[in-house]
Chain A
């Protein structure tokens, strides 16, 4: 079966492309990317600010149940073309990944199907690779923590 979400990251390059086809009309897909209360639900983060226009700013923040901020990212929107294109910068706080340029293109396949193509450009190859490895490392850490938890219960 073909994968619905594709990530293309060629070795030695400082960019990557995320592609996904949705069983959704283009307008609904674009809405999900641009309405704060919808972004919050599928991204699992709090949207502190989202101004869908040129020169608009955006800020996401995620806290754990104790209220500690575990993820914070922000940027500025350079182009906002409804149902077509969003160009924005992206910078995550507290990590040395630099600032990224994100070009998201939206298109319809049929009346009921649409596609998003997100081109992410990093400052360097090393920064791209670090960002790519983040979920991999979190996976390992998560496994460690979970094992510890289970082992502590068994004691």
Chain B
């Protein structure tokens, strides 16, 4: 299974949004995060894995424990609803540029 990880996938799930809110105030271990949910521990681990792959969460080793903390830079991308709009136009304009470069070579 090759699933591209992006921030939208991360925030599409209510549990993951709750995890982000929780970790936003302080960095926590996986156990401490799981203790806040009725969901099974492996399910929470899976959510943490997705959030980490999306770079919304970052892992930090402290002694024998791994703490999760929020990646403020990536979170800003999500909070900034203009960014997807900008990316949409950027993608279109990149296409335009490629198209016209080819056009120029042919004419």
Contact surface of A with B, Cβ cutoff 8 Å: 3-7, 9, 18, 20, 22-25, 28-29, 31-32, 38, 41-44, 132-136, 138-140, 142-144, 146-147, 150, 154
Tell me whether B101 is interfacial, beta carbon within 8 Å.
Answer: yes
Tell me whether B40 is interfacial, beta carbon within 8 Å.
Answer: no
- Central interface residue in B94, B96, B101, by most chain A CB within 10 Å: B96
* Complex Cα–Cα for A23 and B66 (A): 47
Please give, as numbers and ranges, the residues of chain A lying within 8 Å of B84 by CB-CB distance: 135-136, 138-139
**Is A132 a contact partner of B8 (Cβ separation < 8 A)?**
no
Task: Answer whether A42 and B92 are a contact pair too, CB < 8 Å, given A28-B100, A135-B85, A143-B6.
Answer: yes
CB distance from B81 to the nearest CB of A (A): 4
Interface readout for B54-94 with A: 1 if CB under 8 Å, 0 if not?
00000000000000000000000000011111111110111
**Is A42 a contact partner of B9 (Cβ separation < 8 A)?**
no
Task: Answer whether A135 and B87 are a contact pair too, CB < 8 Å, given A9-B82, A144-B12.
Answer: yes
* Complex Cα–Cα for A59 and B5 (A): 36
* Complex Cα–Cα for A42 and B88 (A): 12
**Is B89 a contact partner of A42 (Cβ separation < 8 A)?**
no
**Is A139 a contact partner of B8 (Cβ separation < 8 A)?**
yes
Please give, as numbers and ranges, the residues of chain A lying within 8 Å of B99 by CB-CB distance: 32, 38, 41-42
The DSSP consensus for interface residues of chain B is: helix
11 new A-B contacts at CB < 8 Å, known A28-B100, A139-B8: A5-B90, A20-B93, A22-B93, A32-B96, A32-B99, A133-B81, A135-B84, A135-B85, A142-B8, A143-B9, A147-B9
30 contacts between A and B (CB under 8 A): A4-B93, A5-B86, A7-B89, A9-B82, A20-B90, A20-B93, A22-B96, A23-B101, A24-B100, A24-B101, A28-B104, A31-B103, A32-B99, A38-B103, A41-B99, A42-B92, A42-B95, A42-B96, A44-B92, A133-B81, A133-B85, A134-B85, A135-B85, A135-B88, A136-B81, A140-B11, A140-B12, A146-B9, A150-B3, A154-B1
Interface readout for B1-35 with A: 1 if CB under 8 Å, 0 if not?
10100101101110000000000000000000000
* Complex Cα–Cα for A56 and B99 (A): 25
* Complex Cα–Cα for A142 and B4 (A): 12
* Complex Cα–Cα for A146 and B12 (A): 11
Q: Which 9 A-B pairs have the closest CB atoms?
A: A5-B90, A42-B96, A135-B84, A139-B8, A143-B9, A143-B8, A143-B12, A42-B95, A7-B86
